[in-house]
Structure 1
């Protein structure tokens, strides 16, 4: 079923726009309640609502809750909480549904809404389309309901205690929480393990989430690691479902490097279930080379952590993720969790006695270049007169030594182009050709 509003990670957009305002949030809540009723959910089903630190989050969450209550649900507020903690709360409290009001790594001017089913997993494309089909034309009930508070942080912190065994006494760790939802959770867990935490991006004011900090801006973390002589750095995005790391030299590790480190350690210990690592089409070819050489298999999906999770479930795999830093460790959580990923890597450091600068060497990346072009309109790529031919020509030139990926972002008005190949010069030349073709046919802003 075709979706009009939902993208790769829920509904997302500029706050105040037609599809991201209080009226739309109410309508979406009412539609979700109607969808639950159609599935046979009894009246009064618990729906847990969490949010990140954006100034627009509280009013959107209230409107969403009012729509849910209008439809017969019992909404409860988890307040500011990381997305993976909301997922866990839905499971442990046996809620009918979970909702997070967040735009993840986007700036504070944006916001979004994403849903989680009773198992703590994001809804499928078809489920989101079914909710859209029940969307009322307008808000019909002005009632503002008093939201009951619910605790989601306690269970989450308790669960995190079991991810890492051992103390981090003497470890300096730079933690960048992006002025977002992880500002209290990640630091608490690391300090509980006796680490000395140097916190940045830890003063949210509603307007500074992801502003020059967090996983989209790791340079702040890297500089702090070098300044303080830290063992590593951890940078979350605004809602905490992903992270990037940096080693003791201040050099960034992306999701591909994190996944390869975890996969190879699990293979070595005989703990990589089915010997499978699930990644997306965005991941570097070097991941496949490293994991295959170690006796494992790499399977690819479309871009989006929920597609990774769906494939993991289908294959019975327990490790997967994206180069952007979404890492799913299904033995702990059925959704991406930046803190879990960081703790798992720290566990490898403890087990091997090796620093991150050494561990990262397990992945030798193919030369890769990518660019994101902001476009006014997402015209169907297959309908463009010359870009498809340019893509095919570059693919022919690269042959088996490289690959091309051209796609629209599922959450922003951007065309993403990626090229991998045998040398940096060949890759750059190929990317330049594709960018020129795209600029000639699309209105690039």
Structure 2
């Protein structure tokens, strides 16, 4: 028998720290190789950490909610040779087991020394709760993340099992009514969010786990800045204080866009695809980029001086509000996709982001971003550009308003398109032309047929 310390591994993102979100085991539990022992949150992803050993859990060395550096021991295992090399184990490297403080690297999470063995896990079986709901563990986690009570979901799977689509559909229907009731005031009248050291005190945004105020005043609480919020605040401060932002906007008669969305929803070709005005907005942005390529460029500082990189492809970022915070995954080479392919890509991006499963690669390499603030009931805004990009477009809510058509006032579906741009890369006439092009497509989607 031996005791093994398991250090927090490098999960292959080039990051240096992670937060222990939740332990899935307790001291005394017996685990097999590859059993999930905890969930960790990095600046970009929520990751289930598998056990590198088979044996008995000895001690949990780090509390939930703590942020630790890669290489820090987080758990101990009591093992013997038969545990780690039992029936069904597949040895993937012939080297001694990781020693204490050895900077563990797990199979599938990067390269490094240390033997790693894996045992195939049995297929996940649906779990029946005490109230009779049948759902697999990933579906239960998705429901928790979306705030869905599984007992209220109508199951459509085999044997009455709740499926992923059931949960997402239920969450989407519930979200329509989320702003009808005004939430009650909490007992805390004031909240303080400590900003990162490099930022002015008013710039940190969002809430995560809370802790009592250091001042001991029970009317306030301090909220640590970490994980996605830490990464987001750092990126936004970097962008706001390095790129000179300018924003322009235009009101748009989007009635024909709404008519096309309605026809696509009714089309058999789109029967299994969720269609929304965001699809037409995405197509409009891609179309407009071709006419004003500089909005898809980037300012780059080099030792020889600054240069502008003009990208002749579109990795289209979609700002997504998720249970973990703001993420901006992007659709690679969106300019090559048909309308239906783009709709499917948007569906996959949205679902993956809601599940908290967006991989780091999907959040890198974006060239221009859309933020759909209309889903929050906002008419317009002045969005901050993502670092490495020169433009971002905001789409406001689409609502019926009086509009003058051929000299007569008529009810029309109206929205506002706003665009922020890096004035080092593109001038006002270029960005104005770009926003006007986007607006033109929303007013007349037939422009997309060329």
User: Could you state the TM-score of these two structures normalised by the residue count of structure 1?
Assistant: 0.27
Which structure has the bigger radius of gyration?
2
- Greater per-residue strand proportion: 2
- Greater per-residue helix proportion: 1
